[in-house]
Amino acid sequence: MLSSIHIQAIARCLIDLDAHAQRTQGGPGENLLAVLQETPVPGHPDPSARHLGVNPLPVQPQVWRHPDGPVAALRQAHDDMRRFGVQEQLAQVTGVRFLAWVYLYTQTIDDEDGPATVRQIDAVDIDGRAHLLTHVLGEAGHCLLVLPDTAAPDFDGTLTVLNTLARTMRTSG
């Protein structure tokens, strides 16, 4: 079970990931599938000190250009990972604790002012908790991070795939 400190660290990491994408990409950029991982801090005086980092998964660029959109791209990436045994390889890594799976993508949504492009960061931690960040592109510095107390509605299907990936990490360590 993740502590409140872990949950806060995951939230901070998602906000930082959004800020990094904004600085480096500005508008819509490439999708990103990654794991959030906790590793020891080398040379730290406290041997229990840990670092939370983002470890991107190698996904072929053409997968992200899936004609059916970002959810289909995530499903394709998941299928490719299963075919090549990536989840099993990650489960065998020692000295690292995986905390969450993250998917960053852009999509167009309809709101009261018309269509808007949003950067969406969906994550599911190893406790099955959803973390949802939405940033309307063009609105600098404004993003909404939601950590629902109950199961989050899976409007587009990304949380289902991420939960499947997170379940692998729950059962492997």
Q: Which amino acid is at 92?
A: Q
Residue with tokens 């995986």: 98
With cut-offs at 50, 70 and 90, classify the pLDDT of residue 173: very low
With cut-offs at 50, 70 and 90, classify the pLDDT of residue 94: confident
d(CA 59, CA 104): 13
Strand partners, 109: 116
Q: What is the per-residue pLDDT for 9?
A: 92
Give the model confidence (pLDDT) of 111-136 as tens digits: 788 888 888 999 999 999 999 998 88
Give the model confidence (pLDDT) of 27-77 as tens digits: 556 789 999 999 989 999 998 889 899 999 888 888 988 899 889 999 999
Q: What's the start-to-end Cα distance of the chain, in Å?
A: 12
Alpha carbon 34 to its chain centroid, in Å, reads 6
Higher-confidence position of 52 and 139: 52
What is the tally of helices (H) and strands (E) in the chain? 5, 6
Percent of the residues in the chain that have a pLDDT greater than 90, as a whole number = 34
Question: Whole-model pTM?
Answer: 0.86
- Decide if pLDDT at 97 tops 50: yes
